Amino acid sequence: MAGKPNKNAIYLTDEEYNTLSSLSKKKSSCKTLKCRCHVLMDLDNNHGKRLTYSQSARANGVCPATVSNITKLYRDGGIDAVIALKRNVNSDNARRKMDGRAEARIIEIACSPAPEGHSRWTLRMLEDECKIVLEEPVSKETIRTTLKKRTATSPEQILVYPQKGGPRIHSLHGGRPRCI
């Protein structure tokens, strides 16, 4: 007695299999695309040994839901749907307002001497100066986060040593140093 046919079975043509195989071997292919190719080749009934969903998931380091989603993509749109990577418009790169050069320019302005009549730069003064130098408006929040990233990752922490009988060693901005 024959079992009922598997409705989730995948049957790749020779051309599709060769396309997936070549994409998975390319160095320029991203990790997601390579994983999708391997999953489909693992589940193919026409070429070689077929794995189950859980075996394919384990072999490719993904969860079984990902394997199900890849097979659904293939069934709905064919190999073109699997190969096409749809990036979200709201990803970090799309939302990013400043590139590295503009950030470096902001840091350069902030590290320069303060304008005459002022002891230091304020965010408003930096915002006005960046409008002139960068030729496009930059918000105070963007300037603040750029400068915060710089100070958080700076390798040196300036320490202030007390006079006799004064408070203990502290950083330039008043906090305790992270490591002494």
Q: Report in angstroms the alpha-carbon separations of 150 from 26, 103, 117.
A: 37, 10, 26
Domain total of the chain: 2
- Predicted pLDDT at 3: 46
**For 100-137, what is each residue's pLDDT tens digit?**
888 888 888 888 898 899 888 888 999 999 888 888 88
Interatomic CA distance for residues 135 and 113, integer angstroms: 21
Final residue belonging to a domain, choices 52, 83, 114: 83
Residue 56 has pLDDT above 60, yes or no: yes
- Predicted pLDDT at 28: 84
- Predicted pLDDT at 173: 56
Interatomic CA distance for residues 2 and 8, integer angstroms: 17
Interatomic CA distance for residues 165 and 180, integer angstroms: 20
At 171 the three-state DSSP class reads: strand
Residue 168 has pLDDT above 80, yes or no: no
Please state the rounded mean pLDDT for residues 42-66: 86
**Are 20 and 73 within one domain?**
yes
Please state the rounded mean pLDDT for residues 11-33: 87
**Are 19 and 79 within one domain?**
yes
Final residue belonging to a domain, choices 83, 107, 134: 83
The interaxial angle of helices 140-152 and 100-111, nearest 10 deg, is 80
Please state the rounded mean pLDDT for residues 72-85: 87
Please state the rounded mean pLDDT for residues 33-57: 86
Higher confidence at residue 93 or residue 145?
145
Please state the rounded mean pLDDT for residues 19-23: 88
Residue 175 has pLDDT above 70, yes or no: no
Is residue 158, in this structure, part of any structural domain at all? no
Interatomic CA distance for residues 26 and 58, integer angstroms: 22
Say which amino acid occupies 134.
Answer: L
pLDDT band at 171 (very low <50, low <70, confident <90, very high): low
- Predicted pLDDT at 65: 92
**Are 106 and 145 within one domain?**
yes
Is residue 88, in this structure, part of any structural domain at all? no
Is residue 32, in this structure, part of any structural domain at all? yes
Say which amino acid occupies 79.
Answer: I
Is residue 173, in this structure, part of any structural domain at all? no
The 10 Å CB-count burial string (b at 16+, else e) for 80-89 is eebbeeeeee
- Predicted pLDDT at 159: 46
Is residue 2, in this structure, part of any structural domain at all? no
Residue 79 has pLDDT above 50, yes or no: yes
**Are 68 and 106 within one domain?**
no
Is residue 78, in this structure, part of any structural domain at all? yes
Domain span including residue 48: 14-83
Long-range contacts of 95-99 (CB under 8 A, 24+ apart): 97/138, 97/142, 98/138, 98/142, 98/146
- Predicted pLDDT at 94: 55
Is residue 128, in this structure, part of any structural domain at all? yes
- Predicted pLDDT at 163: 57
| DSSP of 34-51 | HHHHHHHHHHBSSSSPPP
Is residue 68, in this structure, part of any structural domain at all? yes
**Are 79 and 109 within one domain?**
no
Chain length of the chain = 180
**Are 104 and 136 within one domain?**
yes
